[in-house]
Amino acid sequence: MNGRTAISTPSVAPRTGARHIPPGTATRIAAALGDDLRIADLYDDLGGPVYHLVTSHDRSEITEVLTALRGTGGPVLELACGSGRLTLPLLLAGHQVTGVDTSDSLLGELTAQVGRLPAHRAADRLTVLREDMTALDLDTRFAAALLGITTIGLVPPGERPGFLRNVHRHLLPGGRFLVTVETPRVRPGEEEIHTFVADDAVITLISYVEPGLAARHVAALSVARGAGPLLLTSFVHLVTPDRLSAELVAAGFEIESVSPVRDPLAGTADGNTLVIARRPS
């Protein structure tokens, strides 16, 4: 099985139960394994370690983010920082970062990784907050805010306007907001499946796109040595770059650029889009 599946990062309090199983292959797996299968949310204590294994070697959008933030003089707010896929490169580039996430497991992994960084005093430039990014209320104002690939999809469409206004409020005048938007690479009603071996586990990622491109369902089946099968699920609302840009403008931002994200290995566009918006000075 092949094909790359983008996995979103935890950012908001769960809105669906752990037993919300995606249609298609994941549903058939659950039916076949029955009570032998454990089912959990991708971002809870069971899912966090698997999520980290899945994303830790993903280099997508890192170059674009570092380039866009080069020369940023103030603190950076990373929403849904997870285990640090973007946080670590930001710290190594010298940025002061506040990382926000809801997962204790992933924040613990982030803290451990930062402690191993070779950069002098990198840990002193990181503030970690266990918060729901949609309800954030901080005293600090930031020179930039960042939301990595697909994570905007964890915010329900009806809540996005308020969320975007809140990000705007947390930025300094002239501050920039970077959001990477996912474009599914499979047609509506189809699946993308990818299986790989990580440490002592075999992990199969299943991504199913709803008809109408309204949402993408994600499941990760983990079979680890000495443990029974574990099915982890997530749900992502899809939004186009044009729709998000319009919502950003309505929230008070100016659109600075909309550009493709390039595959770091192939050097070609990977189908995802980086939207950069600015709070007017």
Q: Residue 160's domain is classified under what CATH number?
A: 3.40.50.150
Please indicate, yes or no, whether residues 171 and 68 belong to a single structural domain of this protein: yes
pTM of the shown model: 0.86
Residue 175, in any domain of the structure: yes
The residue segments making up the domain with residue 73 are 62-183+239-278
Q: Which one is predicted more confidently, 160 or 48?
A: 160
Please indicate, yes or no, whether residues 130 and 203 belong to a single structural domain of this protein: no
Report the domain count for the chain: 2
Please indicate, yes or no, whether residues 141 and 251 belong to a single structural domain of this protein: yes
Please indicate, yes or no, whether residues 114 and 209 belong to a single structural domain of this protein: no
Three-state DSSP at 34 gives: helix
- The pLDDT score that the predictor gives to residue 200 is 83
Write the DSSP assignment of 67-104 as a string of letters.
HHHTT--S-EEEET-TTSTTHHHHHHTT--EEEEES-H
Query: Does the pLDDT of residue 228 top 50, yes or no?
Result: yes
5-27 confidence digits (pLDDT tens): 344 444 544 333 345 788 889 99
Per-residue DSSP letter, 21? P
